[in-house]
Amino acid sequence: MPKALVDTGSGPWVRRALDVVLNCDPRLVVIEGSAADVRQVLAEHGFANADYIISGIPLGSMPLAVRGRIVSETKEALAPAGAFIVYQFTSRVLPELQRVFDVVKRGREWLNVLPAHLFFCAATPASHNGNGSARG
């Protein structure tokens, strides 16, 4: 179970919706700000890093410099075995993910309207947990 759920960069209307829908979960912290400040946000809330960061912000629509900063800062914010999980409606962000992360796995969610591209990114290849299955 995660110690915290943090949303940043969604904008005020999403923040209000999350406050209403998820206000019963004390782990949720909704922050209006830039996803590029993820390490600062984690530190301000007492976390050294994150096991998982999940993002649906439209990285492919952002200027390359902004996209690059967000992706790089996200990698730095992850725990050593952490992962960045991204869902997008284009694959435009793929080259940036591949430049920053050592491991990038791709998938598609066809039942979503519009179908979504899914990317699972890790700083290091998955390690084995001792029972023959890969972790990560």
CATH of the domain at 133: 3.40.50.150
Domain assignment present for 74: yes
Torsions phi, psi for 76 (to 5 deg): -65, -25
pLDDT given for residue 33 in this prediction: 77
Domain assignment present for 101: yes
Domain assignment present for 107: yes
CB-based contacts of 12, cutoff 8 Å, min separation 6: 32
Domain assignment present for 59: yes
Average pLDDT per 10 consecutive residues for the chain, totaling 136 residues: 53 63 67 85 88 89 93 95 92 95 94 89 66 37
Domain assignment present for 15: no
Taken in order 82, 87, 97, 46, the sign of the CA dihedral is negative
Domain assignment present for 13: no
Full-model pTM: 0.77
pLDDT given for residue 3 in this prediction: 56
- For residue 68, the enclosing domain spans 49-136
CB-based contacts of 21, cutoff 8 Å, min separation 6: none
Provide the domain count of the chain.
Answer: 1
Domain assignment present for 31: no
Domain assignment present for 34: no
